[in-house]
Structure 1
Amino acid sequence: DNIHWSDEDGSIAALGNQLKAATLFYLGYNHKHKQNNIMCSPSETITPVKVSDCETNYDSSASWTTTLKYVLSAAFLSVSVLEFSLWFPFVLPGLTSAAAKTYIPAFFVYDDEHTKFDNTPWTYNTDYLLTTVMSILAIQCILARSDNDQKNQRSLRLRLYSASLLICYAISTLAGAWAHQHFLSVESLNTSRFRMFWFVCVGNVSFASCYMGLIGREVQRHFGVSGAMHMGPWWFWPAYGCYMSLTCGLGYISFKRPACDIFIAGCTQFPTTFYCLAALGIRKWPQQNSKKVAVGKETSIELVSPMYRAIYYIGFISNAPLLPVYPILVQYTDMTLGGVNTFLHTWLLLAWGMQGISLVHLCKAVSNGERRV
C-alpha cells in the first residue's frame, strides 16, 4: 500500500523546474498585457496595444496643447500691445493736451482743419537718404560671411533676418518719400493711391516687429545665456507682425497727421525691442584681460566687441523718445513741418544706422567664430 517515489534520475525535479518557469512566464506576460490595455484602451482586452502607440498619441496631444497655448499668447500679446500703443501717448505726464491735439484718429479720411502733411524737399530727401543707408547696411548683413561654408550656414538666419529688418526700414522710407513728394493736397490724400503708399510706409514699420523678434531668437541662440529666455516657436513673431500690419491696413493706426501713424507703429515694437536687448544683455561677457584664445579659435561670443554691444543697445532703445518728442515739437515750438521731419529723420538715421552697424558686427561674429560649447 505504501508508494515510494524515487527520483534517482532527477526527472521529477526537472519537471518541477519547468512548471515553475512556465508559471512565472505566464504571470509576467499577463501583467504586461493588462498594463498595455489599461494604458491605451480599457475597453479592448483582446488585442494588446504597443506602448509606442500610446507615447505617440501622448506626444501629439501635448504638441497640439503647446501650439494652442502659443496661438492664444500671440493673440493676447498682439491685441493688448496695440491697445496700449493707442492709449499710451495720452497718459504721458505733461503731454496729455499736446497728444489730444496731435493724435486725432482718421481711418484714412483727411480734412483741411486737422490734416498736416509736409511736401518740402527736406522731408522727402531725408527719407530717400534713409532708404539708401538702410539698403547699404542690409547688403552688408547679407555679405557678412566667412570662407567656411559650415559657419556661413550657421549665421544665415541671423544675416537674413537682419537684412530683412533693414529692408523694411528702406521700403518704408522709400514709400514715405514718394508720398511726401507727390501727394500735394488733402484731396489727394483721400485717394486709394495714397492709402496704398501710406500702408506700405507704415505697414513695413509695423511688420518690422516680426524681424526684430526673429533677430532676438537668433541672438539668444548664438550669444544669450542658455535657458535664460524662452525662445518659443519661430512663427510667434511673424504672427505678431502680421496682426500689426493688418490693423494698419484697416485704418486702426491712422491719424489726421499721417506722420503720427509711424510713431504708433513704432510703439508696437516695444516687446520685440526689449526681447532683442535682453537676448544680448543678460549674460556675463568675457573680460578684455581674460585668458587669450588662439586667433581663429574664438567663439562668436568672444568676437563681439564691447563698443558694438553699446551701439546695439543704444540703437534699439533710442527710438523710444520719438513718441513724446513729436507732439512737443509740433505743438510747442515754431519749427516748420519740414524742420520737424528733418530732425526726426536725422534721429532715425542715427538709431536705425546703429542697429544696422551692430547687426553687421554680430553677423560677422557668428560667421567667423567657433560654435560655443
Structure 2
Amino acid sequence: MSSTASRNVILVAALLGVLLATLITTYGLPMLLAPELYVLAKFTFIKKTFANDWGTVGTDYGLTALMFTPAIYMLTRVPQSRFRDRSASLLLFYALSVLVGAISHQNFDTVSSMNTPTFRIMWSVCVGSVTAAGGYIGSIGSALAHMSNRSPRQRFKVVQVPRWWWVSYAIILTLMVFCGFFSMERPAADIFLAGITQTPPTVYLFLCLMSNDWGVGMEVFTAQIVLGVGAFLNAPLLPLYGILVRMGLSLGTVNTILHFWLAAAWGSQAYGCLVFSRHIELFEANLLGDQKKMLLEVPVKKNGKGGKNGTAKKEMKNEAEETRKSTRSRTRSTSTAKSKSRSNSRSRSKSKSKA
C-alpha cells in the first residue's frame, strides 16, 4: 500500500472515530446537565415550546446583520485567500442560521404549524447551518496549519487536516439534522446539540492558531487572543440554557439573553478572522523572507579536516562564480570555433580562385 493510501486510511479511521466520539458527547453531555430539556421529538411536537416574541426575533435579525456585514466586507475589501474565503463562509453560515431562525420564530406560532414539512425544512436549515459551520471552523484551522508548518516562527507542529475531511464531517452531521436525529421537543435544544458538534473543529482551530506567533504586530497578536477566546465562548451557553429555564424565565427572555452572549462569541470570531484575513499577504511575505534568511544562515557541515567550509551564503556565491566562469569559457570556445571556421572558409575561397 502506498504512503498516500495509508494516510487516507488513517484519515478515514480518524474521521469515523471523531464522529463517534462527537455523537456520544452530543447526546450524553446534555442529558447530564438537563435531561428534561432534551427529549427526542423527530419533528413531531405535542405542545408548543417555541418562542415568537420580538426579543427573540429582533436579536436573531441583529445577529444576522452582525455576521453578514463582516462577511461581505471580507469578500469585497480584503484580498482573496484561502483563509479569507473560509472565514467569510463561516460567518455567512452563522448569518443563515439566525436569519432562518428569525423567520421561523416569526411565522410558526402554533403546534400544528410546527408539525408541517415547511417548519421541518426551515428548522433543519437553521440547525444544519450550525453543523455545517463546524466544517468551516476546521478548514480555517487547516489554512492556518498550512502557513504555520512552513514558517520558522512555528511554536509546535500541527497536522494539516485536508479539506475533504472537514467537508465529510460537516455533511454527515448535517444529514443527521435533516433526518431528525437532532430534533428535540424544545426546538431551541437542537441548536445546543449542533453546537456541541463544533467542539473538535474548534479545538483544532485553537491549536493551529497558537502554533505560531505569526510575527506581524500587536493587532494580530490581539486578534489571535480574541479569536482563541471567542472560539470557546459558546461553550458556557450549554449549561446556561438549563439554568435559565429552571429559573422560570420565559422562552423569549432566555433566547434574548443567550443571543446577546452569542453576539459576543461570534463577534469575537468575526473580528479575529477579519484581522487575520487582512494580514495574510504579510504572513506570506514574512514566511518567504524568513525562509530566505534561514537558507543564507544555515551553517554547512564540517569537512574532513575538521574546518568549516563557510556558510550557505558563501557556497551560493562560489556556485555563482563557477557558473560565470563556465559561461565565459563556453563563450570563448564558441568564438574560437567561429574564427577557425572563417579562416577555413577564406582558405578554400583562395584555393578555388587560384585554380
TM-score calculated relative to the size of structure 1: 0.72
Give the aligned partner of residue 69 of structure 1.
10
CA contact (8 A) 1:301 1:365 kept: no
SS at match of 1:231: coil
CA contact (8 A) 1:118 1:338 kept: yes
Give, in angstroms, the shift of residue 220 of structure 1: 2.0
CA contact (8 A) 1:223 1:301 kept: no
Rounded Cα–Cα distance in structure 2 between residues aligned with 1:311 and 1:178: 31
Q: Determine whether 1:126 maps to 2:59.
A: yes
Give the aligned partner of residue 179 of structure 1.
104
Residue number among 26, 37, 43 corresponding to 1:102 in the alignment: 37
Per-residue CA deviations over 1:121-155 (Å, capped at 9, x if unaligned) read: 1111110111111000111222453xxxxxx45xx
Aligned residues: 282
Give the aligned partner of residue 346 of structure 1.
260
More helix by share: 2
Which amino acid is 1:357 matched to? Y
Residue number among 241, 253, 268 corresponding to 1:326 in the alignment: 241
Give, in angstroms, the shift of residue 234 of structure 1: 2.0
CA contact (8 A) 1:315 1:352 kept: yes
Give the aligned partner of residue 79 of structure 1.
20
Give, in angstroms, the shift of residue 335 of structure 1: 1.8
Rounded Cα–Cα distance in structure 1 between residues aligned with 2:227 and 2:76: 19
The equivalences for 1:137-176 within 5 A come to: 137-145=70-78, 152=79, 156-176=81-101
Which amino acid is 1:83 matched to? I
Q: Determine whether 1:231 maps to 2:173.
A: no
Give, in angstroms, the shift of residue 194 of structure 1: 0.1
Per-residue CA deviations over 1:239-288 (Å, capped at 9, x if unaligned) read: 101111011111111100000000110001001111111111234x3xxx
CA contact (8 A) 1:90 1:100 kept: yes
Q: Determine whether 1:202 maps to 2:149.
A: no
Structure 1 residues 254 and 329: CA distance shift in structure 2, 3 A: same
Residue number among 146, 159, 180 corresponding to 1:221 in the alignment: 146
Give the aligned partner of residue 117 of structure 1.
50
CA contact (8 A) 2:137 2:202 kept: yes
Give, in angstroms, the shift of residue 69 of structure 1: 2.2
Q: Determine whether 1:280 maps to 2:209.
A: yes
What do you get for the CA RMSD once the two structures are aligned? 1.7
Give the aligned partner of residue 243 of structure 1.
172
Give the aligned partner of residue 38 of structure 1.
none
Give the aligned partner of residue 220 of structure 2.
305
Rounded Cα–Cα distance in structure 2 between residues aligned with 1:223 and 1:136: 28
Q: Determine whether 1:212 maps to 2:153.
A: no
Rounded Cα–Cα distance in structure 1 between residues aligned with 2:132 and 2:159: 22
Give the aligned partner of residue 362 of structure 1.
276
Which amino acid is 2:272 matched to? S
Which amino acid is 2:168 matched to? A
Higher RCO, 1 vs 2 (CA within 8 Å, ≥6 residues apart): 1
In structure 1, the gaps of 5 or more residues are 1-57, 146-151, 286-299
CA contact (8 A) 1:144 1:159 kept: no
Give, in angstroms, the shift of residue 305 of structure 1: 2.8
Rounded Cα–Cα distance in structure 2 between residues aligned with 1:73 and 1:306: 32
SS at match of 2:279: helix
Per-residue CA deviations over 1:82-106 (Å, capped at 9, x if unaligned) read: 1211101223xxx4xxx12111111
Give, in angstroms, the shift of residue 368 of structure 1: 3.9
Which amino acid is 2:21 matched to? S
Give the aligned partner of residue 196 of structure 2.
267
Give, in angstroms, the shift of residue 67 of structure 1: 1.7
Rounded Cα–Cα distance in structure 1 between residues aligned with 2:215 and 2:126: 36
Rounded Cα–Cα distance in structure 1 between residues aligned with 2:201 and 2:77: 23
In structure 2, the gaps of 5 or more residues are 292-355
Rounded Cα–Cα distance in structure 1 between residues aligned with 2:159 and 2:269: 23
Q: Determine whether 1:257 maps to 2:257.
A: no
CA contact (8 A) 1:144 1:363 kept: no
Q: Which moved more, 1:248-257 or 1:67-76?
A: 67-76
CA contact (8 A) 2:142 2:162 kept: no
Give, in angstroms, the shift of residue 334 of structure 1: 3.0
SS at match of 1:235: helix
Per-residue CA deviations over 1:27-70 (Å, capped at 9, x if unaligned) read: xxxxxxxxxxxxxxxxxxxxxxxxxxxxxxx6xx3322322221
Give the aligned partner of residue 300 of structure 2.
none
Rounded Cα–Cα distance in structure 2 between residues aligned with 1:227 and 1:354: 25
Give, in angstroms, the shift of residue 210 of structure 1: 0.7
Per-residue CA deviations over 1:296-326 (Å, capped at 9, x if unaligned) read: xxxx532453322221112101000011110
